[in-house]
Structures are given as C-alpha cells and as structure tokens.
C-alpha cells in the first residue's frame, strides 16, 4: 500500500494535488493500492469529491503525536511518498521508524535528507544541493497528466492565446499580463483570441473581470481538463511550475513567468531546449518577449521541440523506483 501525502493551500497552490491525481491514474492502471492523505483545504477537498476520491484528512501541523506511525500500522502502508516541498524531520523520523521506504518530491526540507529517494523533477541544475539518500533529477521523473497523449498536436500559427498563471495565482500576475496584451493589441492592430483562466484558488477574479472589459478577451474558470483546454490554443502564457512542462509535452508553445524563485530554472530549461520563451521572475518579468513569436516558423519549431523535450513516462519511472525499493525492503 502506497501512501501519498500532499499539502494544499492558497499559498502552496494546487500543483501538489494535481500531481497526486496524475500519479493515481497510473496506480489505477497498474491496479496498485494507494491511500491519499491531505490537509483540510476546502478547494482541494471539493476537487477530490468531484473525482470520487475519498482522501484521509490529516493534520500536517501536528508533529508530535506520530499520526504517521499509527496510520502506517492501521492501513498496512508499505511505502510513503511525501509531496509537501518541506518535509519536517519529525515526519521523516516517524515514517522511517516503521521500517518502510520514504520518498519525497521536489523537497528541500530537513526530513528529505532521510528519504530513500527525492524525485527532483523540477531541478535542472544544482543537483548536489538536493537532500536525500538518492536524488532522481530532471523531467524524466515528472508526473504529467496522461491525457496529454490524447490531445497533443502540432501548432503552426499564432491566433489564440491562453493565460494560465496557476490555480491560486498567489501574486496576481494575471493582471499585468492582461494589461500588456491589451496594449500589444492596440500597438499592432491585430486581434488575437485571448482567454484568461482563473484557477480555483484565485482571489483576483473581480479585478480580472474589470481588466478585460471592452477587450473581447474571455474569462474562463471551472475547467474540467486543462490538457483538453490546451488543445484549443496556439500559445500559452503560464507560470513556471508543472503547467509549463505540461504545455511543452502537449506541443503548446508558451511564455513562462516564474512565480517562485525555484521556477526560474524551469523557464530557462524550456527556453534552452527551444520549446518556450522565459519572461523572467514575476517581479521583473518582460511579457514583451511574446513579440518574438511573430518570427516566421517560430511557433512550429517550438511546438515540435516540446514533446521531444518532455515525455510522458515520469509516473512509470517513479512507480518502478518506489516499488523496487518497497520489495527490496520487505525482504530485509
């Protein structure tokens, strides 16, 4: 039994939840048992209810009661995957005391140093600074939505633009991006079909509605499938997290804005590989880089490079590592 423990909040965003859901899809295909552990966040719980997934709600702030050990014994958990960015030393000690493997994802917490493996799928440089007994770095260990294979397509023109800057858009980056796109349209006199996706944890909806008045831009929310939505657009302006990598894998060229410092290298990695433009860290972003997409053949080239750079086998690779370790540990 694999336990997947995630943390969701307005500050953390919904990325951990969607990553867990993608991993769950792979586990279901393999008929592997799992249990999903999540803190009490109403947005996350609502999404899980819609997908008929019943998680175990846990108090992630409780570091003293050893609820982890009790749960491991009660549910007969054989391997633990922590997706919380900063695993505490107490959590790691509680899990390891039960003699089962511990894995973490993109984790820089003190507890990650005790992990049997740290899947640093968003790390493309500075690997030696990542904690963990073994580090599995780069996009080979990226858990992506399996729907991508169904909706992936090649682009060759720039007529439609999707703005999607995170499930929470913690820093309200959508608003200055809207302002830029409005000004760009006035400068060029060329109308692009622009849609702005407001995520389930966003607090800027009313401001965004005011910002697009009289523009012809469209506001979207409550989208059932981001990947299916990707298929309708020629270009996207995204945050620097997993969404940008999903766009690349989908053949959707994008301009990346890093909402967090650790996302900078993701934007740089995608630009180095020719499948995105990197507009910079949100505090000093340069949305004007989108004008580079007017170059003949640019969008077609980027669309082709995306799937070549980011494949869809990350969840399979992670499952292979986790279960190989679990089997080995059970024999010792």
Residue 31 and residue 138 share a domain: yes
Quote the tokens at residue 313. Answer: 């086998």
The string over 55-90, giving b where at least 16 C-beta atoms fall within 10 Å of a residue's C-beta and e elsewhere, is: beebebeeeeebbbbebbeeeebbbbbbbbbebbeb
State yes or no: pLDDT of 146 exceeds 90. Answer: no
CATH code of 190's domain: 3.40.50.2000
The pLDDT of 224-242, averaged and rounded, is 94
Residue 161 and residue 37 share a domain: no
CA–CA separation, 118 and 112 (whole Å) = 7
State yes or no: pLDDT of 37 exceeds 90. Answer: yes
User: In this predicted structure, what is the pLDDT of residue 330?
Assistant: 79
State yes or no: pLDDT of 258 exceeds 90. Answer: yes
User: In this predicted structure, what is the pLDDT of residue 102?
Assistant: 98
User: In this predicted structure, what is the pLDDT of residue 187?
Assistant: 92
* Parent domain of 110: 2-144+313-331
Q: Where are the alpha helices (DSSP H) in the chain?
A: 15-30, 42-50, 67-75, 89-96, 148-151, 174-188, 205-211, 226-230, 242-249, 264-272, 298-309, 314-331
Number of domains forming the structure of the chain: 2
Supply the mean pLDDT for the chain. 93
Residue 174 and residue 130 share a domain: no
This prediction's pTM: 0.80
User: What residues pair up with 105 in beta bridges, in sequence order?
Assistant: 119
Residue 176 and residue 70 share a domain: no
State yes or no: pLDDT of 332 exceeds 80. Answer: no
With contact defined as beta carbons under 8 Å apart, do 141 and 317 qualify?
yes
User: In this predicted structure, what is the pLDDT of residue 199?
Assistant: 86
- Residue 176 or residue 242, greater confidence: 176
The pLDDT of 99-117, averaged and rounded, is 96
Distances (CA, A) of 231 to 92, 160, 164, 239, 240: 40, 11, 14, 18, 19
How would residue 329 be classed by pLDDT, with cut points 50, 70 and 90? confident
Distances (CA, A) of 282 to 55, 174, 226, 260, 273: 34, 10, 22, 8, 21
Residue 232 and residue 100 share a domain: no
Residue 320 and residue 268 share a domain: no
State yes or no: pLDDT of 12 exceeds 80. Answer: no
CA–CA separation, 123 and 318 (whole Å) = 15
How would residue 262 be classed by pLDDT, with cut points 50, 70 and 90? confident
């Amino acid at each position: 039994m694999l336990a997947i423990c995630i943390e969701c909040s307005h500050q953390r965003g919904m990325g951990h939840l969607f990553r867990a859901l993608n991993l769950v899809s792979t586990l279901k295909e393999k008929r592997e048992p799992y249990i999903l552990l999540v803190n009490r966040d109403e947005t996350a719980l609502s999404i899980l209810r819609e997908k008929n997934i019943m998680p175990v709600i846990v108090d992630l702030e409780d570091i003293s009661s050893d609820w982890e050990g009790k749960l491991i014994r009660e549910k007969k958990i054989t391997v633990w995957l922590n997706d919380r960015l900063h695993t505490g030393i107490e959590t790691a000690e509680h899990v390891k005391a039960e003699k089962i493997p511990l894995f973490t994802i993109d984790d820089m917490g003190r507890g990650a140093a005790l992990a049997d493996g740290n899947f640093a799928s968003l790390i493309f440089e500075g690997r030696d600074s990542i904690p963990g007994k073994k580090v599995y770095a780069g996009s080979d260990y990226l858990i992506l939505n399996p729907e991508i294979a169904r909706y992936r397509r090649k682009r060759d023109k720039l007529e439609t633009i999707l703005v999607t800057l995170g499930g929470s858009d913690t820093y309200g980056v959508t608003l200055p991006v809207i302002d830029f796109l409005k000004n760009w349209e006035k400068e060029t006199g060329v109308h692009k079909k622009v849609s702005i996706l407001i995520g389930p944890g966003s607090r800027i909806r009313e401001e965004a509605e005011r910002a697009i008045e009289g523009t012809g831009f469209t506001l979207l929310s409550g989208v059932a499938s981001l990947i299916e939505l990707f298929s309708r657009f020629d270009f996207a302006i995204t945050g620097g997290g997993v969404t940008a990598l999903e766009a690349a894998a989908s053949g959707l060229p994008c301009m990346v804005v890093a909402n967090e410092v650790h996302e900078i290298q993701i934007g740089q990695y995608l630009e180095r590989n020719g499948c995105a433009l990197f507009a910079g860290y949100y505090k000093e972003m340069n949305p004007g880089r989108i004008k580079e997409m007017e170059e003949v053949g640019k969008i077609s080239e980027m669309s082709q490079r995306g799937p070549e750079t980011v494949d869809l086998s990350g969840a399979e690779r992670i499952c292979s590592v986790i279960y190989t370790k679990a089997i080995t540990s059970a024999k010792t």
